[in-house]
Chains A and B, each alone.
Chain A
Amino acid sequence: MASTSRGDVLALPRVTCRNHPDAILVEDYRAGDMICPECGLVVGDRVIDVGSEWRTFSNEKALKDPSRVGDAQNPLLNGGDLTTMISKGTGAASFDEFGNSKYQNRRTMSSSDRAMLNAFKEISTMADRINLPRNIIDRTNNLFKQVYEQKSLKGRANDAIASACLYIACRQEGVPRTFKEICAVSRISKKEIGRCFKLILKALETSVDLITTGDFMSRFCSNLGLPKQVQMAATFIARKAVELDLVPGRSPISVAAAAIYMASQASAEKKTQKEIGDIAGVADVTIRQSYRLIYPRAAELFPPDFKFDTPVDKLPQL
């Protein structure tokens, strides 16, 4: 039975009737043909039906959905794996006389993809440890695929490249993670991740935005359990400090940590330098150094509507 099919739009660029190039071909899936409605010419034949093999009528969601043939394809990332795998058999027939299974191993899938799949798994594990959302994981996977196909970083450990891709993806999505945070969930050293990061930027010819103090405030403050007021005050302090150039050459993380310290010390929730240092991944002497730089002008760094639990002149001076 002929029927119009959703495949029309796809058919148009590929094949048209000789005599009626404008005619929209009609797909007859029963015979697997594409027929021109004007003259009846069979234009394409042996069209593969991509519909499901059987219909299911059960209402509840069964554990296995029998209308799916195989796993959800990951076409963007795997280059279409259309391989067949033979799983271990069930039943008596699959064992030969010695008790070994007749068909030993499933055929390994394409080995080139295997490294990539491993890396994706690793990326997923790493991202899961720091609760990264799906979009970052997807971006990381895409970056890894680009780098992998380019082969310019072929000698480097895949884990290192994966970690660096994760770092770049977080940056590109506007929620940068510090190198130390990525280090914490990866087995690669910060040095190696840094190296791979620079190499990948060069290989993909992209660049990333510079990190700012504000990018880390919400994460650090929530990890410390500081209320929103303190977080906002710390953000303001850090931004003001950078604007007034009180902390030239200091890493934004250190400035952010010092700002959090100042804000928390001025509020009811006082945190020690050590606690902040643990969360931010900065040494407490570093916080001390940056704090010393912003302390002299503490009064103008606070936001105007801040409620001081400890007044500015009573702030600890280290």
Chain B
Amino acid sequence: MDESALERYFDDSIAGDSSFLLGEELGPESLDPAHSQQDSALQAVKAGSGAELGDELDLSFLPDDLGPQEEPDRHDDTAGGPAEALNVSGDSGVFTDFISQDSTAANSQQGGALLTHSTSPFCPMTPMTPMTPMTPVMERSGIIPQLQNIVSTVNLSCPLDLKFIALQARNAEYNPKRFAAVIMRIREPRTTALIFSSGKMVCTGAKSEEQSRLAARKYARVVQKLGFPAHFLEFKIQNMVASCDICFPIRLEGLVLKHQQFCSYEPELFPGLIYRMVKPRIVLLIFVSGKVVLTGNKL
């Protein structure tokens, strides 16, 4: 039951926001179903948009334009590497590139984009311009970010007596002078929860969405056992942090030159580059060693 529920949940999220990164974010267990789902989503959007490329490089589901300057990158998609893929997909956002060509491309909507990109060898007669040229959905870079932390909130919807909870429950600490919530920890999915007197609760430290939900339920159960009429309303995942290693060193100065609008790299302040991707609204911390931390994913 859980498996199919998971699948349905993933299907819904894919249908809403089809971007190839989604396959990677969903984690290993969903790789295959997500993959096939994404293909069908692609087909659907392809048919809907009327763009027919026939190639795996049709990125017609991505709505915005980027310039032809990106297209050479597309050709060396294997050479470019997944880092570029991760980064360039961010261009599929509201901001167009700073190159003037791109702005003209962006201005001309899908119908007119034909002109600017008619010279591309890959898509001679595509009515809609694919603009994120990078590695298409088909090519799996094989890099899957590992979830490190999930922050979620839930509403227990009953006022709580924090002092009572702190005295009765195990593994609870409450220091009202320092912070106005009970800090409770459980060992099973190793998590920490902040329980406020209004009945709202924040659960942090879980390594997957299901674990976070399970942990939140356990905390709710603890509160319930203490005698409060706790419910489990509006469970929402607020933040997901993942990390991955792309196994090759990165030239951060080059990256900041190319993607100036999205990057913030101040070696004096922080050794990593902060890339704020627009299309999946994610912040990536990119380090010279090739390690990447992805955060800000709200689901």
Contact = CB atoms under 8 A, between A and B. Distances in A.
Interface of A: 178-179, 194, 197-198, 201, 207, 210-211, 245, 248-253
Given A207-B260, A210-B256, A249 B287 contact: yes
B268 A178 contact: yes
A194 B288 contact: no
Given A207-B260, A210-B253, A249 B266 contact: no
Given A197-B266, A249-B289, 10 more contacts: A179-B268, A194-B269, A198-B266, A207-B260, A210-B265, A248-B249, A249-B252, A250-B267, A251-B271, A252-B267
Nearest to A201: B264
B266 A194 contact: yes
Counting chain B residues whose Cβ lies within 8 A of the other chain, the interface size class is 10 to 19
Contacts of B269: 179, 194
A198 B264 contact: yes
Interface in B252-274: 252-253, 256-257, 260-261, 264-269, 271
Interface in B148-184: none
25 contacts: A178-B268, A179-B268, A179-B269, A194-B266, A194-B268, A194-B269, A197-B266, A198-B264, A201-B264, A207-B260, A207-B261, A210-B253, A210-B257, A210-B265, A211-B268, A245-B251, A248-B289, A249-B252, A249-B271, A249-B287, A249-B289, A251-B267, A251-B268, A251-B271, A253-B267
A252 B252 CA distance: 13
A201 B265 CA distance: 12
A252 to B, nearest CB: 6
B177 to A, nearest CB: 25
A210 B269 CA distance: 12
* Pairs A-B, 9 closest by C-beta atoms: A249-B288, A251-B267, A248-B288, A194-B269, A179-B268, A207-B260, A249-B271, A210-B253, A251-B268
B292 to A, nearest CB: 14
Contacts of B267: 211, 250-253
A246 to B, nearest CB: 12
A210 B264 CA distance: 10
A211 B252 CA distance: 12
